[in-house]
Amino acid sequence: MRRSLMLLPLLLGGCSCQRAADDAGRSQAGTQSTAQSARDDARRSQQALRSATVAALQSVDADADKPDRVIRNYVDALLKGSAQASDAFWSGGQRPPRADDDLLRDMRDIRAVRVDIEPPYALDPEQAPDLLQANVRVRVTSSEGVHRFSGYYRLQPAADGSAWQLYAVSLHAVLD
């Protein structure tokens, strides 16, 4: 009888461990299901963004310069100091009173420029389906040294759909 009483706690302890393992298994299955659901939501969101980007790109004439070309041409005109030529890239033909890329406009004695532009994407497919944003990195070598900038340019179709125009910029110096 004593032996059976001594074994009783061991048997009961074994049972509780089994239930804990079952609970952990159910919890893990629930976590995996939640993670899969989150991945599915992210995949659907990415597909919607890609579809919106394709639709936005099609909102401008096919023979018009692509958004990345517009940004490159704008930065080139800006760094050459041609205010009139660079302002023509802005919506309405006039840059905002305080553009966030004035740092580029003020650079002098430029020796080399590199502009890396990520593929543009739809900014807000539901609210503004034809607005695009392109993230950029700009590297300018001048007599004063190497200057790096990072940020984005936002574009919209011209009123007649003939070209892309800039309507916003956020560009900041990157410190080494």
**Any domain includes 87:** yes
**Any domain includes 37:** no
The 3-state DSSP class for residue 145 equals strand
pLDDT value of residue 50:
74
pLDDT value of residue 138:
95
**Any domain includes 141:** yes
**Any domain includes 85:** yes
User: Which runs of consecutive H residues, i.e. helices, occur in 58-82?
Assistant: 67-79
Write the DSSP symbol of residue 143.
T
Residues of the chain with pLDDT under 70: 1-31, 41, 45, 48-49, 51
pLDDT value of residue 28:
66
pLDDT value of residue 62:
87
Sign of CA pseudo-dihedral 72, 65, 121, 84:
positive
Counted domains in the chain: 1
**pTM of this prediction?**
0.72
The CA-atom distances, in angstroms, between 125 and each of 52, 122, 162 are: 6, 6, 21
**Any domain includes 138:** yes
Q: Which helix (H) or strand (E) is 116 found in, with range?
A: strand 110-117
CB 101 within 8 Å of CB 78: yes
Question: What is the extent of the structural domain holding 170?
Answer: 67-174
**Any domain includes 155:** yes
**Any domain includes 36:** no
**Any domain includes 61:** no
The 3-state DSSP class for residue 149 equals strand
Q: What is the CATH number of the domain that holds 132?
A: 3.10.450.50
